[in-house]
Amino acid sequence: MLIKNYSELMKRLLLIIALGLLGLACLYLSRDKTLFLMFSNHVPASKKDWTKSDRITKEDVLAAQKSALKYLFNAQDESGSWADHPGFTAISLKAILQSSQYDDGFDKQIIQAVNYLLTLQREDGAFAIPFSTSTALTNYTTSLCLQVLVLCQGHGIALTPNKLQGSAAFIKKAQDYLIGIQKDEGEGFTADHPNYGGVSYGAGGGADLSNMHLSLQALKDSGLDANDPYFKKALSFVTRCQDSETNDQKWSGGSGGFAYSSEGDASDEKEVYGAMGFAGLKSLLLCQVGTEDQRLQDVLLWLKDNYSVYDHPGKGQISIYYYFATMAKAFSLAEENGVNLDVSLSRWRDELMEVLVKRQRVDGSWVNDEKKYMEGQPILATAYGLYALNICSKE
């Protein structure tokens, strides 16, 4: 009888524990809207009535920027955030603050949004909603938030009085966090490891080039010394993501394109595709690779052979607005560094502006029918689209 009672007691105890863990898991997943945004559907507004032969004017581009700004501000929550999500909020702010159509009449809404982000900065410098899925995306969100804080400084935007004096401290803490999670000797990585010098979404996990170029951009924009060891270590990882003879990994061939990660898979093959090609070009330049460097020349050749503004090379329409944004930043950085682009690439600004203007919806938004990676969410696609259009139209 005692054994039977003990067995029943253990079953009940295990059930209570299981229900408790399930409740904690549900709480963790519901603390931010990442999963909701991944699976929710939106009915997008219709496109404007453009024909393929219509010429896009400067006035059309300005109108598209203003329309996108209006859409984003109308989509802002009462909390100041976009979708109550640190990533969406930071990407939206980045696009707005870099727009030539931005003026100080928007400062109140910007300050509200930035203060929302500042409430999420942890003591270690990372930005995340506590006990939520965003704690697994800290490099991603912190890199974006750091760029936003730097842009606010550039615009002379004063935050609330209690935050204003500490703005430099917020930036320094974010810098220190990004440097601290780089996969180097401090995390037990040796220089011959494929992930050495890289970063992942958070402190753990495999390194990837998508997070790498965001982190490099944030640290460069925020004034990290160009000779800081971070950049040299990062270059080691970036090199190992390239399908090039300069890569010492077994999977590497000679196409010159870039893959998402540095480690080979079971078949020793890697997928190279458009956004990573531009992320690689951008990363090489941020790491101060010279214009005649073989790695740079290899990726330029790959881009010449695969360039498109109508599809995302290797992905079709999947994540095409991320591709547009990465393309625009990489090409503009190349021009700033005196890189000679092939004649087939030289009209990238005009070609991308035309495609973006013609893809825009009547409500000012952009949205991707391919919903993977959350581009079915108009806020995210619009932030990417506006960011790309801002760069293309910059004179």
The per-residue pLDDT for range 259-279, each reduced to its tens digit, is 999 987 655 568 999 999 999
Question: Which CATH number belongs to the domain containing residue 75 in this structure?
Answer: 1.50.10.20
Strand pairing partners for 258?
A: 242
**What residue numbers bound the domain in which 253 lies?**
2-393
**Joined tokens for residue 230:** 């971070």
CA angle 301, 307, 308 (to 5 degrees): 175
pLDDT digits (tens, 9 = 90+) for 205-231: 899 999 999 999 999 999 999 999 999
pLDDT the model gives residue 164: 45
Average pLDDT, the chain: 90
Total domains, the chain: 1
Identify whether the C-beta of residue 238 lies closer than 8 Å to the C-beta of residue 296: no
Tokens 């999500």, located at residue: 85
CA–CA distances in Å: residue 300 to residues 213, 284, 305, 335, 372: 17, 11, 9, 13, 27
Strand pairing partners for 242?
A: 258
Percent pLDDT > 70 in the chain is 90
Identify whether the C-beta of residue 241 lies closer than 8 Å to the C-beta of residue 261: yes
Q: Which residues contact 218 (CB under 8 A, 6 or more apart)?
A: 142, 143, 144, 146, 147, 150, 174, 178
pLDDT the model gives residue 315: 97
Which DSSP string corresponds to 337-379? TT----TTTTTHHHHHHHHHHHH-BTTS----SS-GGGTTSHH
CA distance 165 to 151: 16
Q: Which helix (H) or strand (E) holds 16?
A: helix 2-30
Q: Which residues contact 200 (CB under 8 A, 6 or more apart)?
A: 139, 181, 183, 206, 207, 208, 211
Percent pLDDT > 90 in the chain is 73
Kindly report whether the global pTM for this prediction surpasses the value 0.95.
Answer: no
Q: Which residues contact 307 (CB under 8 A, 6 or more apart)?
A: 313, 344, 345, 348
328 torsion bin: left (phi>0), alpha (psi -120 to 50), beta (else)? alpha
Q: How many CB atoms lie within 10 A of CB 284?
A: 28
Angle of the 209-221 helix axis to the 274-286 helix axis, nearest 10: 40
Identify whether the C-beta of residue 175 lies closer than 8 Å to the C-beta of residue 224: yes
First to last CA, the chain: 86
C-alpha 336: how far from chain center: 21
Q: How many CB atoms lie within 10 A of CB 30?
A: 12
Identify whether the C-beta of residue 43 lies closer than 8 Å to the C-beta of residue 369: no
DSSP letter at 41 equals: -
**Three-state secondary structure call for residue 208:** coil
> For the residues 286-290, what does the mean pLDDT come to?
97
Q: How confident is the model at residue 24 (pLDDT cuts 50, 70, 90)?
A: low
**Joined tokens for residue 260:** 């998402």
Position 345 pLDDT exceeds 60: yes
pLDDT the model gives residue 229: 98
pLDDT the model gives residue 31: 66
Query: How deeply is 221 buried, as exposed, middle or buried, from its count of CB atoms within 10 A (0-12, 13-18, 19+)?
Result: middle
Query: How deeply is 187 buried, as exposed, middle or buried, from its count of CB atoms within 10 A (0-12, 13-18, 19+)?
Result: middle
Range with the poorest average pLDDT among 80-84, 103-107, 350-354:
103-107
Position 336 pLDDT exceeds 80: yes
Q: How many CB atoms lie within 10 A of CB 87?
A: 24
pLDDT digits (tens, 9 = 90+) for 107-155: 889 999 999 999 999 999 999 988 677 788 999 999 999 999 999 988 8
CA–CA distances in Å: residue 360 to residues 65, 72, 375, 383: 10, 13, 14, 12
DSSP letter at 139 equals: H
C-alpha 121: how far from chain center: 18
